[in-house]
Structure 1
């Protein structure tokens, strides 16, 4: 259970870090090249805010699961 807890905790930290990265810059770096007019297809502020909230909620959930796995493994 300890290995699974470490794996889940790693992804919790990764998702939390992704939540605090500027999502607009990430979109321009990795997605904008696919469009002829990228400014017209740029994600809205609501979508970026929703993505940040979803990443934070997912990170909290995974952190909670990791703590539960560590408790099951006897690491308190």
Structure 2
């Protein structure tokens, strides 16, 4: 089966992520960490809706994104 689109492991998509989306992803991560301080493994990143800025942390696998969502890698949130 042929893969279509950009994979999560492909870093070329990162240059297109809006800074407000990155800030929101960082806030989602920080809020999660405040509630769950026992978290030892960092997430792969956050799948976030570009319109509502609501998102979820992704810890394993490849996220399946809706058309209005994007993936912000954990490394990008730490910059």
| TM-score, scaled to structure 1 | 0.32
Relative to total residues, which structure has the larger strand share, 1 or 2? 2
Whose relative contact order is higher, 1 or 2, with alpha carbons under 8 Å and at least 6 apart?
Answer: 1
Relative to total residues, which structure has the larger helix share, 1 or 2? 1
Report which of the two structures shows the higher radius of gyration computed on alpha carbons: 1
